[in-house]
Amino acid sequence: MKSALWSLLLCAALLRSGVQATYPLSAGDPQLIAAQSYAQSRNNGRPPPRTLNLAKTDSQCRSRPLDLVFIIDSSRSVRPGEFEKVKIFLADMVDTLDVGSDATRVAVVNYASTVRMEFLLKDHFNKPDLKKAISHIEPLAAGTMTGLAIKTAVNEAFTEQSGARPRSRNISKVAIIVTDGRPQDQVEEVSAAARASGIEIYAVGVDRADMQSLQLMASIPLEDHAFYVETYGVIEKLTSKFRETLCGVDPCAMGHDCQHICVNSNASYYCKCRIGYILNADKKTCSVKQVKVEVVEDPCKCEARLAFQKQTQAALQQLTAKHILSNVSGRIEHLENMLGRP
């Protein structure tokens, strides 16, 4: 009885205010079920039209590089205007990320009854090119093969050949699935296999999306990885949520104890020293680098010096010998004079 009353009150509030909301999913939440039922039965609101802005490239995310793959539903249930809003959401996400070959790389997998790789992680390393590629994406129509799309992303998008960084680099691998329907194939096994391979999955359901399927696809905790929005018109509100989650914080900006230079490294940091200094054993402080001066003699100069020394010694010996002989000769002559020569 209380659950039914809650549902009626929620629907009445939504009817009065015309609010369009986003919800994190929790299994069996009666308020959320009522909200989704209401969203499916009413006409979607039409906010002022927005177009994809190719020029805007500001970024507040600088601390966590990602291999990020968007998996977007473009089945027949997604109307052309709604698909444009998905592309605006992707462009807004690109604007919030620190994009680059050594930062975040982005790929897009487009699916309906078939799957199409729109571009790979290795294709675009700057925001203008990424947003231009997003603007050219066209819907595929027909069915909703979400499981096939996830499998394709794992086998073709998250590979080193396609631009994903090696596992040894410890770069986070993230998939964001956006869908508005119930999958027409199995998603539980392929999603579990993707998560087991190290891919973190976020599932965003819109309007008629099946909540149980979103929960089967998403990583845990579900409240941080599975979301429902009533219409494509408010999907862009999730941008700030993803920015908080994917960017994290700047460890160096939060405070550090490096004496010279702090360098961000994923969710942590390490210290470096300025030129001419070396890092001490504590990995925080720096000392002046001791330079050992090693004098290398020119062999030719050494040989010349030795030859000169030998010549000098020989000359001195000759002079000494002459001086001694001269002195002896003088003394003999003096003695002879004293004794008288015959």
Reported as a pLDDT band with limits 50, 70 and 90, residue 12 is: very low
Angle between helices 2-17 and 30-41 in degrees, nearest 10: 40
Yes or no: domain 250-293 corresponds to CATH 2.10.25.10: yes
CATH architecture observed for domain 66-246: 3-Layer(aba) Sandwich (3.40)
**Residue 110, amino acid:** N
Contacts 24+ apart (CB under 8 A), 256-262: 257/284, 258/284, 259/284, 259/285, 259/286, 260/286
List, in sequence order, every beta strand (DSSP E) within 55-196.
66-73, 105-111, 115-119, 172-179
Q: DSSP character for 103?
A: S
Cα–Cα distance between 71 and 111 in angstroms, integer?
Answer: 7
pLDDT digits (tens, 9 = 90+) for 317-335: 777 776 666 665 666 666 6
Q: Tokens 């659950």 label which residue? A: 3
Phi then psi for 156, rounded to 5 degrees?
-120, -35
pLDDT digits (tens, 9 = 90+) for 174-208: 999 999 889 999 999 999 999 999 999 999 999 88
Cα–Cα distance between 251 and 141 in angstroms, integer?
Answer: 44
pLDDT digits (tens, 9 = 90+) for 75-119: 988 888 999 999 999 999 999 888 999 999 999 999 999 999 999
The ranges assigned to domains in the chain are 66-246, 250-293
Contacts 24+ apart (CB under 8 A), 286-294: 286/259, 286/260
**Residue 105, amino acid:** R
pLDDT digits (tens, 9 = 90+) for 132-167: 999 999 999 789 999 999 999 999 999 999 999 999
Please indicate, yes or no, whether the overall pTM of this predicted structure exceeds 0.95.
no
Percent residues over pLDDT 90 in the chain: 47
Q: Does the CA dihedral 86-91-96-100 come out positive or negative?
A: positive
